[in-house]
Structure 1
């Protein structure tokens, strides 16, 4: 059996400030690093065969803290990057809401039709996340893997694994920073467990 632990990166400065990150980046907050440490303690008795992460600083740093491995030992995969928000990257969400209300409405009510200005669609994001996933699971027939990515990427990936339409993207469980989801694959059967679990913070 192959078990994959899916983790959303820890809270960043821009998360706390309400700034869209996408393909841009910002450092982890103190609270973010502390929660990553709590998750690391929760998983410390589980031997990991490999650690994968989006190449963004926030994902790699989270993977380092959770796994206890140096950045050089973490396998970076560009397919695990967040939605490219194009011209929205680096802007405050509140300003985008005021200036581009119609597109923001589409984002939240018809995600399957949304296209970021100069950036991705969720379908494009799902396609590259699924490609990354298939490559990773083809490499590992069994064992335990940690995979650190982003909220949008993980939600698209989970929709792919559960064969759910992106039309219902926002109806799926939310994934908090440093939340834990684990997926088991055995004899070709995929089972998604503990989606968005944050009990390790308690």
Structure 2
């Protein structure tokens, strides 16, 4: 059995769609970071997206756990032309596309960005590589809302729209385990 502990990075406080922009995380709540670190298993491996909000969060909670290199395949959704723009602004310009992206996720993509299916394929492949390289271990993956939802969708075998109904708060933990007979979900969006 391999257990994944999917941690969403610290908050950015941005009020826009933040995907591949490299915004920093607010890691000033050191008490919450300490509680999060204590909640995670020891020993465990720690890996993160290469975006600094995830990498800095991983560094803050790693403690004496082994830190793996940052992985760009664990990044958030690439929002393309929607990046750092507010939903209402995009909806005023392209209401059908943005509603379809969130309401019926799949092959719809933002201009210059990724579809949900592309995000799932990218993150699934990264997680599969981690599991293959570290089978039977606990792996802490510090990533993003979208990346975590791809794994919730996969583990629960949900339609994409149902996966989006799950809340994934900053500094929360979602625990998934892969057994020989399939995935099991121990918890989604646990806060320390």
Match of 2:183 in 1: 190
* TM-superposition CA deviations, 1:138-185 (whole Å, max 9, x none): 1112121111111011101221222222242323x2111111011122
Say which of 80, 90, 93 aligns to 2:84.
90
Q: Aligned partners of 1:168, 1:69: CA distance in 2, in Å? A: 37
Contact 1:159 1:165 in 2 (8 A): yes
CA drift at 1:33 = 5.8
Structure 2 residue runs without a partner (length 5+)? none
Q: In the alignment, what sits opposite 1:35?
A: 32
State which of 42, 48, 51 in structure 2 corresponds to 1:56: 51
SS at match of 2:106: helix
Greater share of residues in helix: 1
Pick one of 163, 172, 175 that aligns with 2:168.
Answer: 175
Q: RMSD between aligned alpha carbons?
A: 2.2
- Call closer, same or farther: CA 1:186–1:42 in 2, change over 3 Å: same
Residues 53, 80 of structure 1: 8 Å contact kept? yes
Q: Structure 1: state its 5+ residue gaps.
A: none
* Separation in 2, partners of 1:74, 1:54: 11
Residue deviations 1:79-125 (CA, integer Å, cap 9, x gap): 21111000111223342233332222212321224311111000000
- How many residue pairs align between the two structures? 192
Counterpart CA distance in 1 for 2:170 and 2:89 is 23
Distance (Å, rounded) in 2 between the aligned partners of 1:37 and 1:96: 38
Alignment partner of 2:164: what SS?
A: helix
Normalising by the residue count of structure 1, what TM-score does the alignment of the two structures yield? 0.85
**1:26 aligns with one of 23, 44, 48:** 23
Deviation at 1:19, TM superposition (A): 2.0
Determine the C-alpha separation between the residues in 1 that align with 2:167 and 2:89. Answer: 23
| Pair 1:104-2:94 in alignment | no
| Cα pair distance change 1:100/1:183, threshold 3 Å | same
Partner of 2:120: 126
User: In structure 2, do the counterparts of structure 1 residues 103 and 184 end up closer, same or farther at CA, with 3 Å as the change threshold?
Assistant: same
Partner of 2:2: 2
3-state secondary structure, aligned to 1:160: helix
TM-score, normalised via structure 2 length = 0.89
1:80 aligns with 2:77: no
